[in-house]
Amino acid sequence: MSDRLQGKVAIITGAGSGMGAEMAKLFAAEGARVVGADINLDRLQTVVSAIVDAGEEALAVKTDVSNLADIEALFAAAKAKFGQVDILVNNAGIMDDMAPIGELTDEMWQRNFAINTNSVMYATREAVKEFLPRHTGVILNIASVGGTNGGRAGVAYTAAKHAVVGLTKNTAFMYENEGLRINAIAPGGINTNITESMTGVSQFGMGRQQQGQGLMPQIGTSEAIATAALFLVSDDAAYVNGAIVPVDGGWTTY
């Protein structure tokens, strides 16, 4: 490893599994002190224990990212333990049930926006408060090809992730002269456990969504997202700002 994040403190939400867990382990191996957040504390503790056992520093904070008080407590815990925050990765998220708007429930809409969008806004706002006085800081949002294209999920997830894309670009523009960088990754089909969050699949919506499945390359890995994330949060990407980077094997080229 090259210690590209030496001296940095990184908060990663959804760090208990999948892409978040891989980012946490890779960032720690690159020198970062990692604050992992997840609503599933058992999974999160497993990831953090592996980091600590490898001789690196990490902290587990049980967090409901849709709850502002939890986000505020997460930042307070990070500063109490490590003194600062330098990097924020908004990774936590859920799927919808592939429903088109004609089948959409208010609950599914509100749940998707609470976890996929509101959480990003809450954490980004807290991070900006920390970063602006120091004129430095990096935020990386995990959006989705569902946030750049219309047929990759149901309407709730698609709209929520489109909002993350807009939030990313606006925040990057607003603070580009203040030393802050804000980018997003748009993963394609990645092998994670996110389908656990699906409560009941719309057969019509799934059928429509599957029209483009045959164009998807082989399923990607969480490690592929983690290595892209490492570049974007490191100084190697110092001139990358406001970018929405597809990591999808080329799925969105068509």
Q: Show which residues are catalytic.
A: 157
Distance between CA 179 and CA 181 in Å, rounded?
7
Distance between CA 26 and CA 21 in Å, rounded?
9
Distance between CA 7 and CA 231 in Å, rounded?
16
Bridge partners for 184 per DSSP? 141, 244
CB-based contacts of 253, cutoff 8 Å, min separation 6: none
Distance between CA 81 and CA 9 in Å, rounded?
10
Asked if 13 and 117 touch (Cβ cutoff 8 Å), the reply is no
Asked if 182 and 171 touch (Cβ cutoff 8 Å), the reply is yes
Structure tokens at 240: 């990358």
Sign of CA dihedral 208, 222, 253, 121: positive
Structure tokens at 32: 């970062």
